[in-house]
Amino acid sequence: MALRFEHRDTEVDVSLVDRVWRTRSDAEETMTSAARTCWHLILSRAQGRLLASLRGPETRATTAPVPPGTEFLGIRFAFGAVLRPHPAASFVDGYVPIPVTDSGRIVIGGESWEAPTFENVEHFARRLQDAGLLVRSHLGDEERIAEHPEASPNERTLQRRYRAIIGLPQTAVRQIDRANVAATMLRDGLDWRAVVETLGYFDQAHLTHALRRYVGCTAGELQAGHCAAMSFLYKTHAGPGS
């Protein structure tokens, strides 16, 4: 039986968290995770034991085993959100294990915090924010320079700052976001020709290459609903971090 995800938006006043999802594995299987420009905090619980880790950003789709009898909670932080003890650039295409105390609290920034639940993620994020551990970066200048490099002699400095914050260069962010949007359009029944024209792919081969690299599925699998990528449980947003 395929994993079934429950997901929700967060409260409008919590701008540093984008999405919350949860699922449970009843049998051993695998899961395809699409490339993503945002990082996640993922908690898993099996046989009463809690594990926590930070995941992503990821530059290509990956497949991972899913152990049976495990509950997962995922928190997708907003594009540009920064967890000061663990900058995103330090775990691109990887993960950082987060210590868990014997009492089931997670350790971030040298302090232990009550593990969040599906219902109270906003409270968890506010506490990290109040402690100065979770902050929103200011990407306005970096994005402007990346789009108009002739506008300033500090182009390289700002591009390095952008990559240090996000973990990826803006070119990769655009490619990943475009593949996310393409996959969502195909999943929702749009013909590949319309996707190519709308999103500016050269042709079907160009679209196919992007989907395989960043999503791990073909257009046909997406249209048939056979792609179990975590990132496509909901419509993506317009703009970076979708």
Q: Give me the amino acid identity at 16.
A: L
pLDDT at residue number 12: 60
Neighbours of 225 (CB within 10 A): 9
Q: How far is CA 26 from CA 1, 30, 142, 187, in A?
A: 8, 12, 45, 25
Band (pLDDT 50/70/90 cuts) for residue 234 is very low
- In angstroms, the CA 41 to CA 74 distance is 6
Rounded average pLDDT over 162-179: 93
- When pLDDT is cut at 50, 70 and 90, the band that residue 233 belongs to is very low
Would you say how long the chain is, in residues?
242
Q: What is the pLDDT of residue 74?
A: 94
240 pLDDT band, cuts 50/70/90, is very low
Whether residue 241 is predicted with pLDDT greater than 50 in this model: the reply is no
Tell me the C-alpha distance between 23 and 6, whole Å: 6
Tell me the average pLDDT across 183-193. Answer: 92
